[in-house]
Amino acid sequence: MGSLSFGSSQSAIGLDIGTEHVRVAQVKPSGAGFTLTAYGHVDVPMGAVADGEIIDAAAVSSAIKELWRRSNVRGKEVSTGVSNQRVIVRLIDLPFMERGELQSAIQYQAQDYIPMAVEDSILDFQIIGDYMTSNDEHMMEVLLVAAHREMIGNTVTAIEGAGLKLGQIDVSSFAIVRALMGEGPGVLPDDEGQATAIIHISAGITNIAVVERGIPRFNRISSLAGSTFSQAIANALNVSFEEAEQLKIVVGLPDVETGEGEQTPGVSPEQTQMVHQSLEREVNKFIAEVRRSLDYYLTQTSQVRNIQRILLTGSGAQLRNLSAYLSKGLQAQVLIGDPLERMQVASSAQAAVNADRMGSVTAIGLALGGLQK
Ligand SMILES: Nc1ncnc2c1ncn2[C@@H]1O[C@H](COP(=O)(O)OP(=O)(O)OP(=O)(O)O)[C@@H](O)[C@H]1O
Ligand SMILES: [Mg+2]
């Protein structure tokens, strides 16, 4: 074949299946970077996805079909992500061996590190690096991923039910890291002894990851997320979940220093105060949970003494004044993680992605992962 490609090099599609939305992003390489060529998001019927797992595959298939009708995505092969209690990621240390040897050894070694039966799991691994101990033992560091077979099966059923083909399955938090920071060392380098944390808040799940020199070295999921905040408002004000969602979005948290918030038309001062109080209570629990995770991570590593900065992202990160609360509560710099900062957006995708900018992170990262195959 000749070398002329007219810039129409291959593209990849990322599909992000969530509690409230399914999202699609299509990307292609362009020049030194990437271009987002198509984007879309549609609602998922209530209950079809819960705690990051597909409960009703047929309902998810229909939502995906609608997504394909309503967005300008072209193609059938997708990369998707999973993030729930039945996906385990562990960084482990093993005696050094060659890749091929590790391939079979991991089947026997894995059980020591994962809480699910290895027979019920699909295993994957990535070699991070090797080192010598002070006793001259040659060791290696391996990122082990175990996913429950049945859970993955439901994902495959939902995707194939929509007439699509599953190209690869990724861990959602790896996709989030990829979208915000790129991959490999050298991107957004941390100072000596420092690391970056990423907090991605969606409806049912918060992903917490810590990245050292471009490598995700820790991740945790929490069920304290956007829905928790809404439910707290619904309980305190005795309103429906839908009304609580609206109040959460229009009122949000007060100013962290003054405790005051703007008065929203149509919301009484008493309601505003109750929304502030219930959100503050939940956000304090949320901060305590994040702090526990980050402290745990810091006890596990000798290299890193401090979390230098936090990238806050996901739809739920739009909660008014949240970043100021996190910054104060976690004593770290909090930046908003914008997935479009690192890529071009074609005019064909502009309007759709602007309408869901903070929600687009995972789908974009999954698509970027698909390009690397
Ligand atoms: N402006 C806003 N302020 C506060 N919260 C918001 C705002 N916009 C959206 N959210 C919240 O974001 C959450 C929806 O996030 P998203 O659509 O990313 O969830 P999902 O990906 O479908 O779910 P999951 O991945 O957790 O299964 C809801 O809790 C919603 O209330
Ligand atoms: Mg999500």
Q: Which residue lies with its CA nearest to atom 14 of ligand 1?
A: 203
DSSP 89-100: EEEEEEE---HH
Same domain, 330 and 274: yes
Same domain, 184 and 253: no
How much distance in Å is there from the Cα of 180 to the middle of ligand 2?
Answer: 15
How much distance in Å is there from the Cα of 91 to the middle of ligand 2?
Answer: 24
Domain count, the chain: 3
Q: Which residue lies with its CA nearest to atom 20 of ligand 1?
A: 18
The rounded distance, in Å, linking the Cα atoms of 262 and 256 is 13
**β-bridge partners, 15:** 24, 80
- Which of 253, 225, 215, 183 has its CA nearest to residue 312? 225
pTM of full prediction above 0.85: yes
> Checking DSSP bridges between strand 21-30 and strand 12-17, what pairing results, if any?
antiparallel
- Tens of pLDDT along the chain (373 residues) come to 334 444 445 899 999 999 999 999 999 999 889 999 999 999 999 999 999 999 999 999 999 999 999 999 999 999 999 999 999 999 999 999 999 999 999 999 999 999 999 999 999 999 989 999 999 999 999 999 999 999 999 999 999 999 999 999 999 999 999 999 987 544 455 667 788 999 999 999 999 999 988 888 899 999 999 999 999 999 999 999 999 999 999 999 999 999 888 888 889 999 999 999 999 999 999 999 999 999 999 998 877 788 989 999 999 999 999 999 999 999 999 999 999 998 999 999 999 999 999 999 999 999 999 997 6
How much distance in Å is there from the Cα of 107 to the middle of ligand 2?
Answer: 30
How much distance in Å is there from the Cα of 153 to the middle of ligand 2?
Answer: 19
- What is the pLDDT at residue 1? 37
How much distance in Å is there from the Cα of 66 to the middle of ligand 1?
Answer: 20
Pick the atom of ligand 1 nearest to 206's CA.
26
Same domain, 240 and 345: no
Domain that holds residue 121: 87-148
Pick the atom of ligand 1 nearest to 248's CA.
4
- What is the pLDDT at residue 8? 44
Q: What is the CATH number of the domain that holds 94?
A: 3.30.1490.300
- Residue 49, domain member (yes or no): yes
Pick the atom of ligand 1 nearest to 227's CA.
29
Same domain, 314 and 355: no
Same domain, 45 and 168: yes
Q: Which residue lies with its CA nearest to atom 21 of ligand 1?
A: 18
- Which of 189, 193, 191, 209 has its CA nearest to residue 201? 209
How much distance in Å is there from the Cα of 136 to the middle of ligand 1?
Answer: 50
- The residues near 65 (Cβ < 8 Å, ≥ 6 apart) are 162, 163
Pick the atom of ligand 1 nearest to 359's CA.
18
Ligand 1 pocket, Cβ-based, cut-off 6 angstroms: 18-21, 49, 52, 202-205, 225-227, 230, 245, 248-249, 314-316, 318-319, 359
Same domain, 248 and 158: no
Q: What is the CATH number of the domain that holds 328?
A: 3.30.420.40
